[in-house]
Amino acid sequence: MTTEPNLRRATKPGEAGGPRRERIGQVWRIRSLEGARQVLRARHATTQAGFTAEAIPKGVLRHHPILMSDGPLHDEQRSKVGRFFAPKVVQERHRPTMESCADARVAEAAASDSVDLAELALHYSVEVTAEVVGLTNSPVRAMARRLVTFFRQPPFDITRPDLGRTKRQWMQAAFNGLVPIVRFHLADVRPAIAERRRQPRADVISHLIEEGYTDTDILVECVTYGTAGMVTTREFICMAAWHLLTHEPLRRRYLVADEAERHAILNEIIRLEPVVGHLYRRATEPIEVSDRGETTRIEPGDLIDVCVRDTNTDPDAVGACPYDLRPGRTMPRGVDASGLTFGDGAHRCPGQPLAIMESDVLLTRLLARSPEIVREPDLGWDDLIEGYTLRGFQIRLTR
């Protein structure tokens, strides 16, 4: 009897892997890919509940953040902003920035005895995404430090009332969140807004100004792009490098592959290792979810937890050996090679082309320097993004 390979590194302690769907109180957990797609595509029957969306007051902002909004407002925002992340735009407008940033970061790393890959990936991803968003009026490393401090939050459980926090924890969360946001606004966002009011550019902030967004609205959007576009990409670059440096056949294949095949390899890695492990929706209307011939009814008010790590390894959808890395898997019709890593339906993340190309540009340059692992990374978990973190990952490059 042979044992199926299990190459997944990010396995969260205590996280159940089944059943395919279950209800605990008013929380539904959906672990089948087909059932999850039905939930995520029930656009008029759910609202965004992840990333503490339900704790954000509706009347404070003139424009509700794109990550948190729903319905026609979200559709309009998505259609207008999506052009900045279209594959052709990423290739033609942003690839030169990726290449120059990657060359600079790798040259710095090669000049040192060893480098912390998490720090290198952070500075690189912040610099690239800042160019797309328009946060280019402050030093990259300083802005990266401000973005990272935003994540120093007390733990919470999104399935519990008041997120399961005590009053003391809420006070700590307010201080730990508001102080970095104020610093981010003053040092990074406000100078960028002022510059683009004088001279608009082809970036997200210029677009938001044109759409009549207030400075506060723009700040919230920049926090969203800062966490989604910069910090999560950092984690994936580290995870992909970890697999490529410890899986010799995959590494050799990546080194000789063309760009399309390299992207297929990265999509397969992120299918197995999605950075965001849970997507949450709140049912506003009854939803019927069918899976393996059985139908389940989700009632209005129920919280739905789409367990992405499970949906992406559902053998009904991804085939045999779901915990192995097999680029080019045959996926169900309409399902991306990355599974549900970037979501599905109205809230599908538009940044996939940017994230995959950005990661590929840096990783090809790192691997060309024959890197060696000096210290394996420590695996941790972040409640805000419901994902993993990799820290202390030391590598050495040939000069």
50 CA to centre of own chain: 13
- Strands 303-307, 27-30: pairing is parallel
Does the pLDDT of residue 379 top 70, yes or no? yes
Band of pLDDT at residue 348, cut at 50, 70 and 90? confident
| Superfamily grouping for domain 21-396 | Cytochrome P450 (1.10.630.10)
pTM, entire model: 0.93
For residue 178, the model assigns a pLDDT of: 82
For residue 64, the model assigns a pLDDT of: 57
Q: Any idea of the CA torsion for 78, 340, 307, 122, to the nearest 10 degrees?
A: -70
Q: Any idea of the CA torsion for 324, 327, 329, 333, to the nearest 10 degrees?
A: 130
Strands (E), the chain: 21-24, 27-30, 46-48, 115-116, 278-283, 287-291, 294-298, 303-307, 372-375, 378-382, 387-391, 394-396
Measured CA to CA, the distance from residue 114 to residue 397 in angstroms comes to 7
Band of pLDDT at residue 155, cut at 50, 70 and 90? confident
Token pair belonging to 255: 């080194």
Band of pLDDT at residue 2, cut at 50, 70 and 90? low
**pLDDT 10s digits, 73-108:** 666 666 777 788 888 999 999 999 999 999 999 999
Where are the chain's structural domains? 21-396
Band of pLDDT at residue 112, cut at 50, 70 and 90? very high
Does the pLDDT of residue 1 top 60, yes or no? no
Which strand (E) or helix (H) includes residue 238? helix 232-246
Measured CA to CA, the distance from residue 386 to residue 50 in angstroms comes to 9
Q: Furthest-apart CA pair in the chain: how many Å? A: 69
**pLDDT 10s digits, 51-75:** 666 666 565 555 656 555 666 666 6
**pLDDT 10s digits, 216-249:** 889 988 888 877 778 899 999 999 999 999 999 9
* DSSP assignment of 276-306: B-EEEEEESS-EEEEETTEEEEEPTT-EEEE
For residue 184, the model assigns a pLDDT of: 93
- Which has more pLDDT, 220 or 397? 397
